[in-house]
Amino acid sequence: MNSMTTSQKSIIMIPARLESSRLPGKALLNISNVPMIVHVALRCQRSVLASRVIVCTDSVEICRRCNAFGIEVCLTRQDSVNGTERIADACERLQFDSSDLIIDVQGDEPLVDPSFIDQVISFHRKHQFDCTVPHILMNELDNENRVKLIVSGSQVLYMTRADSPVYFGGTQKNLKKHLSVIAFEVGCLSAYATLAVGELEAAERIELLRLIEHGWSVGTFEVSGETLAVDTQADYEKVCRMMERDPLYLDMKVSGEI
């Protein structure tokens, strides 16, 4: 299914909405006096290999706050079930070339490292996967908000909120935590929007399981570093503390970007 070419453009798209069930309004929560979604977009703009950064949202208020920082926004329909569908809608509206590479960076990753984005782009260009999602190793157990990958070689076989795989009879080893910097080609995204929600996606509430259930290939590789998706109030409070000592944030502050 992969039809990638080395000349394709790489475009970062950041899905965002206000109606988050676990932490309402989180896209506009202030972190060091800057909305979370703005942190994500400004850090994405530091990617070396991506040519464009676009926030995709159905919220006029998110549009307004992003525009104040000079961030490009695409207003999408309101009935998208998840971020992947929202990005697919934006791609259709913006009429990207079918060979373009789309990098989905979730709007609740305010500490995202731009180098992760470039690593994903480089990996995806070298391999024949339909979708690429990197992972980091983690020791945190019993947290259903963290999606874990079950991997064979560099291919993702399954994604789960459970602590898996279990090392039966031995000590539980590092889990592979899903990192929300995901590469798709436009064709893969367009197909995603037409696929039915499968039993596994419905059970786990992990949107990329839709691709696996319908036979699309998902690749992965390990990256090292620190990141934190903001899913809960506790996550938000933690990321606020982490941001104040984050080297990239401090550099952006000195340079006047924030």
Residues of the chain with pLDDT below 50 are 1-6
Closest CA to 257 of 41, 37, 13: 41
Question: In the chain, how many domains are there?
Answer: 1
For residue 126, the enclosing domain spans 10-255
DSSP 230: -
pLDDT of residue 4: 44
Closest CA to 244 of 99, 86, 110: 110
**pTM beyond 0.95, yes or no:** no
102 contacts: CB under 8 Å, gap ≥ 6? 11, 13, 87, 91, 96, 183, 184, 185, 186, 189
For residues 147 and 180, give the distance between their C-alpha atoms in angstroms, rounded to a whole number: 10
pLDDT of residue 97: 87
Q: Is residue 2 part of a domain?
A: no
Q: In the structure encoding, which two tokens stand for residue 80, read together?
A: 């998208």
Residues 115-148: tens digit of each pLDDT = 999 999 999 999 989 999 999 999 888 899 899 9
Q: Is residue 3 part of a domain?
A: no
Closest CA to 201 of 156, 152, 159: 159
Q: Is residue 92 part of a domain?
A: yes
Q: Is residue 182 part of a domain?
A: yes
The residue count for the chain = 258
Q: Is residue 5 part of a domain?
A: no
Ramachandran angles phi, psi of 202, nearest 5°: -65, -35
DSSP 137: E
21 contacts: CB under 8 Å, gap ≥ 6? none
Quick check: helix, strand or coil at residue 174? coil
Q: In 139-148, which positions are buried (b, 16+ CB within 10 angstroms) versus exposed (e)? A: eeeeeeebbb
Asked if 108 contacts 26 with a C-beta cutoff of 8 angstroms, the reply is yes
CATH number at residue 171: 3.90.550.10
Q: At what angle do helices 114-126 and 36-44 cross, to 10 degrees?
A: 50
Measured CA distances, 91 to 110, 166, 188 (Å): 23, 39, 11
pLDDT of residue 228: 85
For residues 167 and 61, give the distance between their C-alpha atoms in angstroms, rounded to a whole number: 47
Q: Is residue 1 part of a domain?
A: no
Q: In the structure encoding, which two tokens stand for residue 47, read together?
A: 């990617």
Residues 11-46: tens digit of each pLDDT = 999 999 987 777 889 999 999 999 999 999 999 999
